[in-house]
Structure 1
Amino acid sequence: MKILFISPGWPKGRLWGELTFKFPSLSLAALAAVSPVGWDISFCDDNCETIDFDTDADIVALTAMTAQVTRAYEIADAFRSRGKTVVMGGFHVSNMPDEALGHVDAVVVGEGELSWPRLLADWQAGALQPLYRSGSQMEMSLIPAARRDIFKNKKYLLTNTIQTTRGCPHDCEFCSVTAFYGRKYRKRPIDLVLAELGELIKTNSFAFFVDDNIVADRKYSLELFKGMKGMGLKWLSHAPIDFARDPELMKAAGESGCLGMFVGFESLSQDSLSAMGKSTNTAQSYLTDARAFRDNGIGILGSFVLGYDGDTPDVFEKTLRFCEDARLESAIFPILTPYPGTTVRQRLEEEGRIISDDWRDYDMEHVTFKPNGMTVDQLQQGYERICREFYSFPSMYRRIFKLHRSVQVFGPMNLGFRAAIRRKTTCP
């Protein structure tokens, strides 16, 4: 009995499809880890290799974010036309199961570790159900180490991705994390995390924690960082900007090997921050907060959501100037995207402002709704301009010219983003 896990590709000509540095899907490695003994498992990443549609696998399993789901459906249709059983999970289909069932035989809603073994048992018994929804959430102490062996010989920058927590205690209206995991913040036992990290470092000293907020529970995070100190890890993760206001915790993160954090600044307007539910952010302290990260050897990949109702055409220049004044090592500028299941989608639907349900454009690079403070074209063109200017050589020089230990990560990252932006503008 054979399973083929597939990660569908990003559309070409889009930023995420043109980036040369690739990371594997940890969710598929997690499902591989809970697959019963006796199943032969293989993995294919459509982003960097050719799919064998004539595989002898019995079950084809996919997961996809919204922007990838159109490609995932194409893949699913091709396999089903060859008589294969196709199943699918992930954020998008968990919110749109009926849509997905037009292309696959079964949909897994929510966290898959509990449902997956049951799905495989049903298939073996000839009783596969169209919908699998676990009645509870996975007990964090029971999550096994991911099956990273399925990524062997793949073209990834690194395969040391790991998750220590699930969920986020906050409820930003644009974020799909709370819709998927709920607001409950769950943590894996620290001894299990440290044991898994001890194995990971044998192959690569770099690691990426995919946690949506690795510092939401201060006591847990402090113990984790102290346990990691001295392991020789160089790691990155996600943290809110108010992490900067906890000197002890930030120092512990830096001493444990943290080189960078993805930080959601989201907006320079306090009114916009309040509207989106970003309660942890205080815009007036952003410059001081950014300096605290840098003083602890931690670089920042900042994120700024463009197109909120308070944004006008001057938001692009203001945001760019701030990023350079704050010397942010890197940044992304996602256009507000009303993903299925989010509060912002419900609001924009009620206001009649959704203008596209072409899921390929739900890549944070395309305008899919009617903005309030500018036209669709102004938002689209402003996004393109700020990306080009932020990753221009003069801007890169102003932001990262001084040597800092995080430059070993953010130097290549800037060059990678710059190259991807240039490639996507030349794609037909």
Structure 2
Amino acid sequence: MKLLFVSPGWPRGRLWGELGFKFPSLSLAALAAVTPESWDVALCDENIEPLDLNSDADLVAITAMTPQAPQAYRIAAAFRARGKRVVMGGFHASNLPEEALQHVDAVVVGEGEVVWPQLLADLERGELQRIYRAATALAMEAIPVARRELFQGKRYLFTNTLQTTRGCPFDCEFCSVTAFYGRRYRKRPVDNVLAELELLRRRNSFAFFVDDNLVADRTYALSLFAGMKGMGFKWLSHAPIDFAHDREFLRAAGEAGCVGMFVGFESLNQDALAAMGKVTNTARSYLEDAQAFRDNGIGILGSFVLGCDNDTPAVFEGLLRFCEEARLEAAIFPILTPYPGTEVRRRLEAEGRIISSDWQDYDMEHVTFLPRGMSVDELQQGYDWLNRSFYSLPSMYRRIFKAHRSVQVFAPMNFGFRSAIRRKGRVA
């Protein structure tokens, strides 16, 4: 039988749809790895190639984040009109399975690797169930090596993405990760990860760990870094800003080849940080912390949430000044987005402040709620101004043109974001 995995495209005129550098869906390659050999498996990523609706696949499996859900539903309708069975998983379907079931034949809730073989067996017997939900979390030693051959011939920046941990010990109000993976921090055996890295370095010396917090367990991460030292990787991942407070730990990451980290600063206002549950962040030490990353050869892709209740129109200029003073190599400025399943959505719903559930606008670029400290238009215009200003040529020059090993990653990233923002403006 034939299986087609589909990753829906992002809408044109949106930042993530206009970015020239693309990364593959690791979750689909992981599901492919637990698919029986009797199935012929293919992948279509609409972000880099057109989707053939006349595919001869027996089953179409779609994954989608919330802003991709409308396109996922359109794809599902087109295939079902052609007599195909369609299943859906991912963050959005897991949080709103009843909504998804209005558009597809079955929904996989949560981590799919445990139940995926059962779903395929049920389909072959003609007994497909409506919802598949694992009774227990996947044992981390059972995470298979992703079938990255599905990515061959596609225009991805690189395909060396992998996961070492799942879950996060923290519970930030706006985060959908905890709702999906839970707060229990689970770790793959280090030897398994190192063995997979040995396979990956035959293809590319760059790697990206998709873990939401690679360094939450110090002992585990230090063991991983020790094993990676000397492998020759240049790699990136996610870490909290307080990672900088442990200089030995930070140095070990740098020596293992880390050239960049996604870091959630979220706000310069300590009261706002407390309100959102960002307990690891101390705003007064941000400048020193950023320098500590840089001293170890690690650049920063910072993230700052816009539209918190403490924010006023003054926040935008203040953030730009801080980012340039801290010489952050790159940054994103997501508008607070009340994703299904998050605590912030529950709170804003209770306060009657959600003004849109048009999922395609849940892309962190559009205001979907009523802010407290400014108007909807002020928040939207401030977001647009901050992105244009941060990725202007003068700001880029001040932040990234310096002798630092992370420039090889972050200089192209800055130009990529700048081009995407400009294309987005033309489409709009």
Is the CA contact 2:241–2:263 (under 8 Å) kept in the aligned structure 1? yes
1:44-193 aligned within 5 A:
44-193=44-193
Tell me which residue corresponds to 1:399. Answer: 399
- Cα shift readout 1:271-304 (whole Å, capped 9, x = no counterpart): 0000000000000000000000000000000000
Tell me how far apart the structure 2 counterparts of residues 219 and 247 of structure 1 sit (CA, whole Å).
Answer: 14
Q: Aligned partner of 2:164: which letter?
A: T
Following superposition, the deviation at residue 401 of structure 1 comes to 1.6
Is the CA contact 2:173–2:277 (under 8 Å) kept in the aligned structure 1? yes
SS of equivalent to 1:214: coil
1:21-420 aligned within 5 A:
21-420=21-420
- Cα shift readout 1:156-178 (whole Å, capped 9, x = no counterpart): 00000000000100000000011
Tell me which residue corresponds to 1:18. Answer: 18
Tell me how far apart the structure 2 counterparts of residues 333 and 122 of structure 1 sit (CA, whole Å).
Answer: 44
* TM-score for the superposition, normalised by structure 1: 1.00
SS of equivalent to 1:3: strand
- Cα shift readout 1:232-282 (whole Å, capped 9, x = no counterpart): 000000000000011111111001100000000000000000000000000
Q: Aligned partner of 1:218: which letter?
A: R
What is the number of equivalent residue pairs in this alignment? 428
Unaligned runs of 5+ in 2: none
Following superposition, the deviation at residue 403 of structure 1 comes to 1.5
Tell me how far apart the structure 2 counterparts of residues 402 and 38 of structure 1 sit (CA, whole Å).
Answer: 53
Tell me how far apart the structure 1 counterparts of residues 45 and 355 of structure 2 sit (CA, whole Å).
Answer: 31
Tell me how far apart the structure 2 counterparts of residues 133 and 211 of structure 1 sit (CA, whole Å).
Answer: 22
Is the CA contact 2:179–2:342 (under 8 Å) kept in the aligned structure 1? yes
* TM-score for the superposition, normalised by structure 2: 1.00
Structural RMSD (CA): 0.4
SS of equivalent to 2:107: strand
Following superposition, the deviation at residue 400 of structure 1 comes to 1.0
Is the CA contact 2:401–2:407 (under 8 Å) kept in the aligned structure 1? no
Following superposition, the deviation at residue 402 of structure 1 comes to 1.0
Tell me how far apart the structure 2 counterparts of residues 131 and 97 of structure 1 sit (CA, whole Å).
Answer: 8
Q: Aligned partner of 2:70: which letter?
A: T
SS of equivalent to 1:335: coil
Tell me how far apart the structure 2 counterparts of residues 173 and 13 of structure 1 sit (CA, whole Å).
Answer: 28
Structure 1 residue ranges, 4+ long, deviating more than 3 angstroms after superposition = none
Tell me which residue corresponds to 1:4. Answer: 4
SS of equivalent to 2:196: helix
Following superposition, the deviation at residue 34 of structure 1 comes to 0.4
Unaligned runs of 5+ in 1: none
SS of equivalent to 1:381: helix
Following superposition, the deviation at residue 48 of structure 1 comes to 1.1
Q: Aligned partner of 2:3: which letter?
A: I
Tell me how far apart the structure 2 counterparts of residues 3 and 247 of structure 1 sit (CA, whole Å).
Answer: 48
Is the CA contact 2:66–2:359 (under 8 Å) kept in the aligned structure 1? yes
Percent identity over the alignment is 73
Tell me how far apart the structure 1 counterparts of residues 267 and 305 of structure 2 sit (CA, whole Å).
Answer: 6
SS of equivalent to 2:132: strand
Following superposition, the deviation at residue 311 of structure 1 comes to 0.2
Tell me how far apart the structure 2 counterparts of residues 159 and 74 of structure 1 sit (CA, whole Å).
Answer: 28
Tell me how far apart the structure 1 counterparts of residues 49 and 133 of structure 2 sit (CA, whole Å).
Answer: 31
